Amino acid sequence: MKGLRVQIQQLSRLDWHYVGLAAVLLLGTVLRFWQLDAKPLWLDEVITAIFSLGHSQADLPLGVAFSVSQLKQIFTLNSGVSCAQIAQTVSTESVHPPLFFCLLYRWISWLNPNSENWIWALRSLSASMGVGAIASVYWLNRVAFSASAGLMAAAVMAVSPFAVYLSQEARQYTLPMLLILLALTGLVQMQQDLHPVRRLRPAVWLGWVAINSLGLYIHYFFALVLVAQIMALGGWMLWQRSSLRRWAAVGMAIAGIILSYLPWLTILLGHFSRPETTWLSSQEANWESRIAPIYQTIAGWVVMVITLPVEDQPEQIVIPSAALMLIFVVWLVWQVRRGFKRAWSQVEIRPSLLLLAGFTLSVLVQFFAIVYILNKDITVVPRYNFVYYPGVCALLGVALVHLPFRIGLPVLLVGILSSALVVNDLAFHKAYYPSRIARDMYVEPETPLVLATSYTSIQEIALGLSFGLELSEYFPDRPNESLGFALIDRTDGFDQAWSQLSRVAPDFPLPFNLWVIAAPGMRTNDYPLRLQMTHVGDGDRPSKISCTVDPEEFGRIGFPYQFYRCR
């Protein structure tokens, strides 16, 4: 009878455990899909849309004026495109591996969105992979530590503002994050197999090879993940003085991953020399630039657990928000330190603790090697921390589960609040603000408007299209001839740009207004006082019209934009 009661109690605890896991997954899903399409697309997401909808730069209307209907056509699915065609486009027009874009193309084709919900469809794959990452970190910690540690890690990731932010980006961050967690789960099982009395499980080792191979075709930073796994496992094997046979098994697995990547290797080497990769290079070698990566890295750790409004806010909001973030983080570090001490006292989970800590530390070492040896400050971009965030989340989970519940509860509540701020665009702001620029351009709405943006690369083309998409939201009920766009090449300088702009032939009725977005650093005085444009309207022959600058209507949010009246 006593044994039966024990079994019933165990089953009851098991049931409540899975109820808790379901609640965590539901909470994570709600936070990731909440207002998924509310924020405007930004530069990188527009590039994702172009490639993942089956288009290329050749499909874009460059050097001509085009209407709202043509703008929407750019963001319509081009059916019948193969993954090989997408890979060819990505290899020549981008600096990323192709697999994410192929998967997203298939995902969007399956959803078959209309013109109203295509942005939701574009971002929904990342959000879904974000939910998958919650389940994966649960499985990782369950295999490495315990079921309760898995549940705590899943709860931490579900409410993490950083994880929610990545999940609402139409970019390849949550998919590789999911694969990193699966790879780490395989790595822990491989570590268990390397025990002298254990036998190797072929399915585990082959699965680890396959996951890492896929990751390399999704994001180049997965190479850092692979190296960190090798360093962590190799360090543990050296400490354990593993046999030559075990080393040979690891070597064969690594060789399999390398062989699988040979078809893309030449393209990878070509991408490294592309101008798109130079923007992270440090320009000044002073003391401030040398220590900036350190505090930027620490700031990246902070926003993994708490994010309050500190960007573009008045001082009366920034100062108390920053103070609260600092106090919370100091308290959390103190508590996590206590949790790690208690976890370390459990001898049976020490190997997994060492392995995951070694992985996280190895990625950080590589980050700082890139910063200080290759002179590319990747710490300035918080989203790149997705590479080692899975390790941080797993370690946080095992530390918090060894503390009283009253310690973990504030962490979860603060995470929910922070995630709500992210969802409502009060944190993790982008470098450019399409919605603010569109609001500034909404002058004289009764007059037809043309927006002209200059470009030297597909990144700047995407930036101009992001402005155009947001501006079109301010004219939802206007006919197509009321709002036009033009993408003007300035590769050979602004003389070329002004000359090309003069040949743009909008067929809008006169008069119309013109906004010109140029290059960073330009001021009102750098714009011509008058622009001559070719006008075609009402079936007449082309005629020259003059557009006069309005010095009072000048704005700058990242890029400068100047207003002209064409009469």
pLDDT score, position 539: 54
How far is residue 240 from each of residues 160, 199, 230, 299, 554, measured CA to CA in Å? 35, 16, 15, 36, 66
pLDDT score, position 476: 64
How far is residue 280 from each of residues 56, 284, 374, 533, measured CA to CA in Å? 25, 12, 10, 38
The alpha-helical segments, DSSP class H, found in 273-347 are 287-302, 315-344
Q: SS3 for 545?
A: strand
3-class SS shares of the chain: helix, strand, coil, % to 5: 65, 10, 25
- What strands, in cross-sheet order, belong to the sheet with 65-67? 65-67, 483-489, 449-455, 512-517, 559-566, 543-557, 530-535
pLDDT score, position 8: 55
**Distance between CA atoms of residues 283 and 46, nearest Å:** 28
pLDDT score, position 474: 76
Q: Which amino acid is at 408?
A: G
Q: SS3 for 295?
A: helix
Q: CB under 8 Å to 352, separation ≥6 — which residues?
A: 144, 145, 188, 191
The alpha-helical segments, DSSP class H, found in 345-402 are 350-372, 389-400
The residues with which 454 forms a beta bridge, in sequence order, are 488
Cα-to-chain-centroid distance, residue 168 = 8
pLDDT score, position 70: 85
pLDDT score, position 81: 93
Run means of pLDDT, 10 residues per run, the chain, 567 residues: 57 78 97 94 93 92 84 90 94 92 96 89 97 98 96 97 97 97 97 86 95 96 97 93 88 95 89 73 67 92 95 89 95 96 94 97 96 90 95 97 91 96 91 84 84 87 90 71 84 79 73 83 79 66 81 83 88
pTM: predicted TM-score of the whole model, two decimal places: 0.93
Q: Are 175 and 132 in contact (CB under 8 A)?
A: no
**Distance between CA atoms of residues 93 and 87, nearest Å:** 10
- Pick from 56, 10, 18: nearest CA to 461: 56
Q: Which amino acid is at 333?
A: V
What's the half-sphere exposure (Cβ side, CA atoms, 13 Å) at 403? Answer: 22
